Amino acid sequence: MKIENQTVVGLTYELKVSKVEDEIESVPFSVEVRDEEDPFYFIFGQSGLPEKFEEYLTGKKEGDSFEFVLKVAEAYGEADDELLINLPKSQFSKERGFEDSMLQEGEFLPLMDENGYPMQAKVLKDFGDTLLLDFNHPLVGFDLHFEGKVLEVREATPEELDHGHVHGEHGEDH
């Protein structure tokens, strides 16, 4: 079976990132490895991943290897200054499940948006009473270098399509 809309796709890959500054590209460095012990599964067409990521995988089948680079504009774009927000530190209390160690500069806070979807923000600066948080995707401003293999391609079940995520061994059980 080939990868197309509404198929469940299982991948192994290594993700490396690089950045261009002053017209000089950095050497790509590894930021994530998904191996056969921890493969990445998603519903093709409903992944929420950059469109170009799915485009490069279209038509591949189980056992196929892949290697491609998503440039910044094809991936998560450039940082948006409007997503840098100063919030009262009191919103991140122990009663709300936050520990002091989570509020340190450079840490990522696990949060939920107004619709209950998980999101994260990076603590940029602690001003005492307030925290400057960065809600940009952690990979903004980077070229993404993917190299991997397609482990599995199968039809998504009606329930998976309805819920928008993979069920079973490599997905959610509920």
Q: What is the pLDDT of residues 47-76, one digit of tens each?
A: 889 999 999 999 999 999 999 999 999 999
What are the CB-based long-range contacts (under 8 Å, 24+) for 103-107? 103/131
pTM for this predicted structure: 0.83
What's the confidence (pLDDT) of residue 117?
A: 80
As to burial, measured by CB atoms within 10 angstroms (0-12 exposed, 13-18 middle, 19+ buried), residue 70 is: buried
Phi then psi for residue 51, to 5 deg, are -55, -40
Q: Are 84 and 134 in contact (CB under 8 A)?
A: yes
What's the confidence (pLDDT) of residue 60?
A: 98
Residue 162 lies in a domain: no
- 52: containing domain: 7-77+140-155
Cα separation, 65 vs 82, in Å, equals: 38
Model confidence pLDDT, tens digit, residues 6-31: 999 999 999 999 998 888 888 999 99
Q: Is the pLDDT of residue 116 over 60?
A: yes
- Record the tokens describing residue 45, joined without a space: 């067409």
Phi then psi for residue 79, to 5 deg, are -60, 145
Residue 129 lies in a domain: yes
Residue 70 lies in a domain: yes
Q: With bands split at pLDDT 50, 70 and 90, how would you rate the model's confidence at 163?
A: confident
Cα separation, 109 vs 91, in Å, equals: 12
Q: Which residue is associated with the tokens 């340190």?
A: 104
Kindly report the average pLDDT of the chain as a whole number: 93
Residue 107 lies in a domain: yes
Residue 32 sits in a domain of what CATH number? 3.10.50.40
User: Based on the domain organization, do 44 and 122 belong to the same domain?
Assistant: no
- Domains in the chain: how many in total? 2
What's the confidence (pLDDT) of residue 20?
A: 86
